[in-house]
Homo-oligomer: A and B are copies of this chain.
Amino acid sequence: MQRLTTTSYVILGLLALRRWSTYELAQQMRRTIPYYWPRAESHIYEEPRKLVDHGLATAKREFVGRRPRTVYAITDKGRRALKRWLGKPGRGPLVEFEGLVKVLFAEQGTKEQLLTTLRSIGAEAERTRQHHAALAAELAGTGGPFPERLHVNALVFKFMWEQAEMLARWTAWAEQEVARWPKDVSKPREPKVVTVLREAATFAS
């Protein structure tokens, strides 16, 4: 029997709200959760089965015409397991950022390449902000599918929003700084950018 992962508990948490078919769960996982718990859709289908194996959920086979689907529901044991899990501290954010790796080695390329990298990150940040703003508009307007959960959603949303804002600010700042650098980005003299290190260093204990 496979062990339960954070993804299992995400599914269990969703099942605590209502019953879902696996397809609906996969849909829901695509809406907002990928911004802090991204998982491949193909594997979402495995998770509820694990929950059933552990007695945390039940599966019911239903039909839409001749097409079958499986609808899952949480059990009492499932609710208890979820509550226990909520009591254990969760891991802090883990960031994976390929664009930043390209910035790190930027002096091996051209100034144009670096600016292109920064602009593409900036464009993505802008798209994310738009996405989040639209989501906020929907939640603030209709209350979303679970209006009684608006307060916890707002906590989570705030993180997503601040993350997107931070990225946009950082990109704009970096573009501006790099614009000041000479054409050969491997040899800037006295770059102003280094002041960020001195500022951060003052916080060292």
Contacts and interface: CB of A to CB of B under 8 A. Distances in A.
Contacts of A140: 194, 197-198, 201
Given A158-B174, A205-B133, A86 B108 contact: yes
A101 B88 CA distance: 12
Q: Is the interface of A mostly helix, strand, loop or mixed?
A: helix
Question: What is the count of identical protomers in the complex?
Answer: 2
A38 B93 CA distance: 12
A156 B187 CA distance: 17
Contacts of A191: 150-151, 154
Given A37-B101, A93-B95, A140-B201, A196 B157 contact: yes
A96 B205 contact: no
Interface string A150-167: 111111111101110011
Interface string A90-114: 1111111111111111111100011
B117 A193 contact: no
Interface of A: 6, 9-10, 13, 16, 33, 35-38, 79, 82-83, 85-87, 89-109, 113-114, 116-117, 120-121, 124-125, 128-130, 132-134, 136-137, 139-141, 148-159, 161-163, 166-167, 169-170, 173-174, 177-178, 181, 185-188, 191, 193-194, 196-205
A181 B96 CA distance: 34
A87 B108 CA distance: 11
A99 to B, nearest CB: 4
A13 B121 contact: no
Contact of A155 (B95, B128, B167, B177): B177
Contacts of A166: 162-163, 166
A90 B102 contact: yes
